[in-house]
Amino acid sequence: MHELAIAESLLEIVLEEGLRHNLRTVEVIRLQVGALAAVVPEALTFSFEMVSQNTIASGAVLEIETLPVVARCSACEVNFEVENQVFLCARCGQPTLELISGRELSLVNLEGETRDDDGGN
């Protein structure tokens, strides 16, 4: 259940950004999570619901986009999607060591309401 630790880090960043952008509430939190990241979206959502109680992000919806695992073959100079955890070039069969995507654990954007004193912007 390291999703709890990840949820805590996420909340910290969301609250920081909320303060910076003068948000009264945060309603949507969009994340990108690579398929290779050891994160279960349901566990992250559940953990975030717990840690965000009584904050501006309480009740926010986590929209999690899963990114495929893409590797690059340096010999063929092609990118290919890794399936079934086989990191071998689809064209030449050589093992690849270069990962293009799949390990992301990123906050992409937030949606929320600004405070009244924001001048209505």
Interacting residue ranges for other proteins, rule: CB under 8 A: 1-2, 5-6, 9-10, 12-13, 17, 21, 23-24, 31, 36-39, 84-88, 95-97, 99, 103, 105-116, 118, 120-121
| Amino acid, single-letter form, for residue 51 | V
| Amino acid, single-letter form, for residue 89 | C
CA–chain centroid gap for 64, Å, is: 6
Q: CB-wise, 12 or 81, nearer to other proteins?
A: 12
Q: How far is the CB of 54 from other proteins (least distance, A)?
A: 21
- Selection from 99, 42, 95 nearest residue 66 by Cα: 42
Q: How far is the CB of 53 from other proteins (least distance, A)?
A: 19
Q: How far is the CB of 112 from other proteins (least distance, A)?
A: 7
Alpha-carbon distance values, 40 to 37, 45, 61, 102, 117 (Å): 9, 9, 16, 14, 39
